[in-house]
Amino acid sequence: MIQQGHEVVSAISGEKITVGRKLGEGGQGRVFTGRRPDGTNVAVKWYNDVQATPDQKRGLLHLLKHGRPSGAAGARFVWPIDLVEHQADPCFGYVMDVIDMKRFAELGEVWAGIKPAPSFRAMARISAKAAESYRKLHLDGFCYRDISSGNLLFDPTAGDVLICDNDNVGINGQSTAQVLGTMEYMAPEIVRGEAVPGTKTDLHSLAVLLFQLWIWHHPFHGRMEYDIRSWDLPAKKRVYGETPVFIFDEDDHRNELPDDPEYDTAKLRWSVCPKPLKRMFRRVFIEGVERPEARPMEGEWQKLFRQLEDSVVTCPSDRAENIWDGESSEVVCWHCRQTFPLPPKLIFKQGSSLMLDSTAKLRYRHVQAVDEASGGDQTAGEIVQNPKKPDIWGLKNLTDVSWRMQKQDGTVREVPPGQAATLSHGMNLTFNDGATAYVTS
Amino acid sequence: MSHVERGTFTKGVYAAASEIGASHIAQGMPCQDACKTGEGRGWFPYTIVAVADGHGDQRHDLSDIGAATAVEVAVRELSNSWHHYKLYRKSFHDFFCYDAGRRIVRAWRQAITHCAETAGVTARPGRSVYERYGTTVQVAMWANGYVLMAKVGDGEMRFSSDGISLQNPFVAPSDLDSQTTHSLAMKDASRVWQTAVYPEPAPGGYVFVSTDGLSNSFPTDQDYNAYVQQLYNVVETHGLEAVSRSWPSWFSSYTHAGSGDDITAGMICFGLGEDERGKQHDSART
């Protein structure tokens, strides 16, 4: 086994990497810091002898040949950069980028109180970005095969995402999997032994992960799991594969949540879960367990979560974040239970909307066609308050091109970069690429 | 009152001991720490060391029972699950990381409910009955070439892969102040189950686990780490059986000079104690 101070050699670039201190150790091997000859830092994952198989090496080489998926969505994968070997060790490893573990969190760390819990807005951003990245991976012909909470890292504040442990990624429908996944996240057809991991089964695993992020619970852990005395493999097979019943299925109460404090958090979080998201979860965990083709695609998740991010409204009483459900004319704050009116909305031509809450951000994806490299996530505009007249709000143009504003009375004004368009009911805005939207209260 | 358990396994030796704290003696209170070990022999051997620290203030007046129940339940649940999963390494690791916390918390609550009903113990107004039994729990397990460690609440765990380096696999929660701990009595206890998995260390490696009564007897983490390393050096020289026999008196001196709290510690040492092999699991209450 390699140790601090050893030099490992990159199989492709041929550069020597000096192994630094051990960052961690797990079931598959160890992760060390590493230093390239040019002084840049990397991480080196070194497999233990059980994991360092020819199949694993072949899989890694394929990932290296393909390279990290492109664009902003692909950049979230902590992709292998090079294979590394050591003359005195028959095992091997790979080099990857260093992860800032102060910034990024695992869901388990949030549950354990080690890292802060993300807000609604951050959860929507994390969810949308995760869905977008898995979509990109699938479009490139790969499947992840082991999506779980341990592989998704997120910035609880900004909502950025990293997807790690990509050495299990394989070619959809072709490469053999070293792992079938983690049973909690496996699609029922894999648990039943009727399918192998692929893009369709990834969609189930992604849904379980998203459910855990929002509800802090497993979608099938209800009465059925609670009543099982011996939580062995046959029991797991029954709950996850043979009889998967969604805990919030309104028509099938066999697996509803027991009356036990253990379930209080899941009940509370489900009660404040936005209605469109509840519908999606019901679809994937009720229809989707029987018919894999009924599972929402990554693009559907992405669209939904972007809309949820744009539907965040802040309670004027306690500043708690709420998500407008897209239907009600007012919002009951989940925290203080007070009812408050909706702020004005910006309705885009394609049908989506942005709540013009004081914390809202207009993003490039709203105002122009999204380019793959940036992902359209940068801020294009923000809500500002008139310093002299606080009851007057505006939308500040943070792009480098002028917008066009037309008031309800027909007057037209240009909104140059750095300036704000005063918001009024009925006004129309024309953005960068000709995208249009109107304000409604 | 002292409690010591120790034994041997195919790869080495293990031991755990609890000693009542000086402040508890002064106040006429029981030891609110507990420890328990477990092992399986034959084709699929395993070793478990569990320690628990009852919270111990007035709100948790039965936490001595809570702690004893916690170690009992943790060893039982992990032993049973090992029998279910022993042929499937990844499945067992998944169980340990994703399920064991939930199952141990639930089993602890069921045991406490039964215990409270039998003893006629009721909850205080607006609180759960579990709160009166509040405790932490920490477990270290060796099985099938791996060391698995987990905890709910405070206390310290250290892993050494070679007898020289020392790792702390766990980060303290940021949502709690230094005087507060997560607890099996919390309604979200299963979510604060932290885990770490390591390949089995080479001979000379070890796992050390202790309640905060021991770590609080040292001014800094560095001092505690130095103590753990020194302790291992002594174990290497004199054997864990001899050292663990001395633990109650050592812990007694630490609690009198240091934290005043109950002290419990456990250790699994790899490649040590050849002379102790074959002896039966030894449990002694003095």
- Provide the residue ranges of all domains of chain B, joining segments of one domain with +: 2-273
- The rounded distance, in Å, linking the Cα atoms of A196 and A295 is 17
- The rounded distance, in Å, linking the Cα atoms of B265 and B5 is 11
Bridge partners for A95 per DSSP: A44, A82
Is A111 in contact with B81 (Cβ distance < 8 A)? no
Question: Residue A265's closest chain B neighbor by CA?
Answer: B188
Q: Which of A184, A230, A233 sits opposite B88 (nearest CB)?
A: A233
Looking at residue A434, which CATH number applies to its domain? 2.60.200.20
Would the pLDDT of A74 be above 70?
yes
Res A327: pLDDT: 84
Would the pLDDT of A24 be above 90?
no
Please write the tens of the pLDDT for every residue from A339-372. 999 999 999 988 889 999 988 999 999 988 887 7
Greater confidence, A376 or A43? A43
Is A233 in contact with B182 (Cβ distance < 8 A)? no
3-state DSSP call for residue A253? coil
DSSP state letters, B60-71: GTTHHHHHHHHH
- The rounded distance, in Å, linking the Cα atoms of B268 and B275 is 16
Least confident of A238-242, A406-410, B65-69: A406-410
Q: Which of A48, A113, A150 sits opposite B175 (nearest CB)?
A: A113
Is A231 in contact with B94 (Cβ distance < 8 A)? no
Residues A130 and A73 placed together within one structural domain of the fold: no
Flag whether A338 is in a domain.
no
3-state DSSP call for residue A263? helix
Phi, psi dihedrals of residue B163, rounded to the nearest 5°: 85, -5
Res B286: pLDDT: 40
Q: Which of A26, A115, A184 sits opposite B197 (nearest CB)?
A: A26
Is B90 in contact with A114 (Cβ distance < 8 A)? no
Res B2: pLDDT: 86
What is the least distance, in Å, from the CA of A112 to any CA of chain B?
A: 4
Question: Residue B144's closest chain A neighbor by CA?
Answer: A27
The count of domains in chain A is 3
Q: Which of B94, B174, B187 sits opposite A183 (nearest CB)?
A: B94
Of A97, A75, A43, A94, the closest CA to residue A161 belongs to: A75
ipTM value for the complex: 0.86
Is B91 in contact with A109 (Cβ distance < 8 A)? no
Flag whether A327 is in a domain.
no
Question: Residue A179's closest chain B neighbor by CA?
Answer: B90
Q: Which of A27, A112, A184 sits opposite B173 (nearest CB)?
A: A112
Reported confidence tier of residue A406, pLDDT bands at 50, 70, 90 = very high
The answer to whether the beta carbons of residues A295 and A311 sit under 8 Å apart is no
Residues A286 and A394 placed together within one structural domain of the fold: no
Residues A430 and A297 placed together within one structural domain of the fold: no
Residues A297 and A430 placed together within one structural domain of the fold: no
Residues A139 and A283 placed together within one structural domain of the fold: yes
Reported confidence tier of residue A30, pLDDT bands at 50, 70, 90 = confident
- The rounded distance, in Å, linking the Cα atoms of A16 and A6 is 10
Question: Residue B149's closest chain A neighbor by CA?
Answer: A26
Residues A163 and A241 placed together within one structural domain of the fold: yes
Interface probe with A: pick from B93, B146, B191, most Cβ of A within 10 Å: B191
Residues A145 and A289 placed together within one structural domain of the fold: yes
Low-confidence ranges of chain B (pLDDT < 50): 276-286
- Topology of domain B2-273, per CATH? Phosphatase 2c; domain 1 (3.60.40)
Would the pLDDT of A387 be above 70?
yes
Which residues of chain A have a Cβ shorter than 8 Å from any chain B Cβ? 22, 25-27, 29, 48, 108-109, 111-116, 150, 179, 182-184, 216, 221, 226, 230-233, 261-262, 264-265
What is the least distance, in Å, from the CA of A115 to any CA of chain B?
A: 7
Flag whether A329 is in a domain.
no
Is B85 in contact with A232 (Cβ distance < 8 A)? yes
Q: Which of B106, B167, B173 sits opposite A113 (nearest CB)?
A: B173
Reading phi first (left if > 0) and then psi (alpha if -120 to 50, else beta), residue A82 is in beta
Average pLDDT estimate for A259-264 = 93
Indicate the average pLDDT of chain A.
92
Res B276: pLDDT: 45
Of A311, A321, A244, A240, the closest CA to residue A277 belongs to: A311
Residues of A in contact with B192 (CB under 8 A): 111-113
Res A328: pLDDT: 87
Please write the tens of the pLDDT for every residue from B12-62. 999 999 999 999 999 999 999 999 999 999 999 999 999 999 998 889 999
Place of tokens 């802060």: A116
Question: Residue B200's closest chain A neighbor by CA?
Answer: A27
Is B171 in contact with A232 (Cβ distance < 8 A)? no
Average pLDDT estimate for A30-36 = 92
Phi, psi dihedrals of residue B22, rounded to the nearest 5°: -60, -40
Percent of chain A with pLDDT over 70: 98
Is A112 in contact with B103 (Cβ distance < 8 A)? no
Residues A57 and A168 placed together within one structural domain of the fold: no
Is A233 in contact with B91 (Cβ distance < 8 A)? yes
CA distance readout (Å), A36 to A7, A8, A42, A142, B262: 10, 10, 7, 29, 49
Is B106 in contact with A113 (Cβ distance < 8 A)? no
Burial, A251: exposed, middle or buried (Cβ in 10 Å; 0-12, 13-18, 19+)? exposed
Looking at residue A12, which CATH number applies to its domain? 3.30.200.20
Please write the tens of the pLDDT for every residue from A160-209. 999 998 988 988 776 555 566 789 999 999 999 999 999 999 999 999 99
Domain final position from A96, A129, A162: A96
Of A175, A171, A138, the closest CA to residue A54 belongs to: A175
Res A177: pLDDT: 57
Residues A123 and A164 placed together within one structural domain of the fold: yes
Res B1: pLDDT: 67
Task: Find the domain containing A434 and state its range.
Answer: 343-440
Per-residue tokens: A171: 């070619």
Res B281: pLDDT: 39
Res A386: pLDDT: 86
Average pLDDT estimate for A5-23 = 92
Domain final position from A51, A73, A96: A96
Flag whether A325 is in a domain.
no
Residues A73 and A153 placed together within one structural domain of the fold: no
Is A26 in contact with B193 (Cβ distance < 8 A)? no
Flag whether A322 is in a domain.
no
Residues A111 and A230 placed together within one structural domain of the fold: yes
Task: Please report the number of interchain residue pairs, chain A to chain B, with beta-carbon separation below 8 angstroms.
Answer: 79
Residues A281 and A393 placed together within one structural domain of the fold: no
